[in-house]
Chains A and B, each alone.
Chain A
């Protein structure tokens, strides 16, 4: 995958996810797993034996409780997740490669229509944008589980090599499979329904949404990026980067949205 990296001035370089590069990435991941098992990453202080690999090898430890780091994406209309380094930018279209129809739909969206106002999950990456609610990552053999305090939502990311099922029924969080590319945990997700919003401000998508997330631990910081691809919504894949702080003393609290939801229509 030709990742889309954000420059220091807040612009994005174009990248393309192709079937060829996906296969290449998968081959890299196999090598990465092998490398992990042989101790290539022994210099990493965050190793966790048997934590995320079915083979029982050592992979970096990204488990724990993590909280998104300011500047956060949510702070005003239409800036959302789109450019976390410069939340003053008012018009998302400057960085998000919307197709014209999708852009018009986004600009006319009413936040009151957000699925989350009916206690439905925000999807991916919406879950990762929660500004005041942490997530817990659990690494177990065969899967990595992400527990989001926001909406009391759980993600299952399968790491046992099962791949995506051929015939997927669309779901809010899609079907996620993960693998290690060196010391980076790479999560590929497909099988989304078209009901979730990518942010809180009305960024809809089609069932062709495909995301690739990368988790990389740097000490007490979890570096994260997500590449978003949806040929029916965007003219090209695009990527957002953000960080999360380790919160070892925190606990995941209860968030039962339906308990006292006054926003449901």
Chain B
């Protein structure tokens, strides 16, 4: 996969109109709720566990640098009611992961939407 562009990194500078209230375990203050980030790449790991499901996506940004982003959402008990399963994503899957990035610049986000290669949105 070396040399292949895996991630396109976009910052959408619009006010958030759609927000998924996925958290209760902790607040949302660490995330920039005013902006949304979209990362396109390959699933490295999908952690189906409490208190938050984590999805890790890796690839190359528009500067040619390898990046790994982690996205968190609610607990399995809650996401299962929205149709998520522990088998929803697996390493190697192509996805677009959107969410609110951490204010401190670390490459983690609060997920608002996942789009899979077949166009399905979660």
Q: Do A and B come from one complex?
A: yes
Q: Is A214 an interface residue (CB 8 A)?
A: no
| Contact of A114 with B26 in the complex, beta carbons under 8 Å | yes
Interface residues of B in 72-122 (CB under 8 A from A): 72, 74-78, 80-81
A257's partner among B23, B25, B74, B80 (CB-CB below 8 A) is B25
Please give the distance in Å from A112's CB to the nearest CB on chain B: 7
Query: Can you list, as one digit per residue, whether each of B1-29 has a CB less than 8 Å from chain A (1) or not (0)?
Result: 00000000000000000010111111111
B80's partner among A112, A131, A200, A253 (CB-CB below 8 A) is A253
In the complex, chain A residues whose CB is within 8 Å of the CB of B47: 260
Q: Is A238 an interface residue (CB 8 A)?
A: no
Interface residues of A in 116-149 (CB under 8 A from B): 116-117, 119, 122, 129-133, 149
In the complex, chain A residues whose CB is within 8 Å of the CB of B22: 132
- Distance, CA A108 to CA B114, complexed state (A): 34
Q: Is A76 an interface residue (CB 8 A)?
A: yes
Q: Known contacts A75-B21, A112-B26, A114-B27; is A260 also within 8 Å of B81 by CB?
A: no
Query: Can you list, as one digit per residue, whether each of A242-263 has a CB less than 8 Å from chain B (1) or not (0)?
Result: 0000000010111111011111
| Contact of B26 with A259 in the complex, beta carbons under 8 Å | no
- Distance, CA A38 to CA B81, complexed state (A): 41
| Contact of B77 with A74 in the complex, beta carbons under 8 Å | no
- The 17 listed contacts between A and B (C-beta, < 8 Å) are A72-B21, A74-B27, A111-B26, A112-B26, A112-B29, A116-B24, A116-B25, A117-B25, A131-B23, A200-B24, A253-B80, A254-B50, A254-B77, A255-B75, A259-B49, A259-B51, A263-B51
